[in-house]
Structure formats: structure tokens, C-alpha cells
Amino acid sequence: MGILKQRQLEKESHLQGSSGEPAIDGGYLYIYLDNDLLSIVGIPSPNLMAEKSSDSLVENYEEFSDSDGNKYEISIFSSIYDISWELNEYPDDDMLINSIRYEVKYNEH
């Protein structure tokens, strides 16, 4: 694998993610920049009354910024199978992006 491709894959891993568990009662996605908490975003509960699994998908969209004024947008998708997220807007700074990490905390049911 080429160095450019490897760097792109590393960057993508900081722009999106998923968890293999559904958030039946919702939860929160903690977003860190290095070790500093950047934002806490709500994870919605999936539509448990859906007749088809594709209809169970619920999306939450949030905007936030860091202490330097950089703006971010994230979409969180919650289904009966799992949750996933993707940064839609972020600074054009690979070092900054590569320092982002996520932690999922589910509400207890």
C-alpha cells in the first residue's frame, strides 16, 4: 500500500466510525481532540416500531467548534443493528483530524 493511500485511510478512520451495538435507549458520543473533550453529541434511539429494518434508522445532526474556532458538523445514525457517525465538516488540517477520537456511552435500559 502506498504512503498516500495509507494516510488517506488513517484520516478516514478519524472522520467516521461505528459501534456494533444498537443504542436502544439512546446515548452519547464523546468527541475528543487529543485528550480534551471537544463535544458531547446525543445518540438517538432507533425507531423500534419500524416494520422494516431500513425504517428503523434515525439521524441526529450537530454542529460544534473547538477552542480555536474551527467548525465541525457530525451526523449520527442509529438503527436496530448499530450506530455510526461521520464528520461532514471539519478543518483542512490532517494533524488536527488525526488527533480526533470517539467514545460511545449508551444510556442504560
Mark residue 88 as left, alpha or beta (left: phi above 0; alpha: psi -120 to 50; beta: remaining): alpha
The whole-angstrom separation of Cα 28 and Cα 53 is 22
In tens, the pLDDT along 34-87 reads: 999 999 999 999 999 988 888 899 999 999 999 999 999 999 999 999 999 999
pTM of the complete model: 0.87
| Integer CA distances (angstroms), 10 to 15, 26, 46, 52, 96, in order | 9, 28, 29, 34, 12
Euclidean distance between CA atoms 58 and 37, whole angstroms: 25
How many residues make up the chain in this entry? 109
- The domain ranges of the chain are 3-106
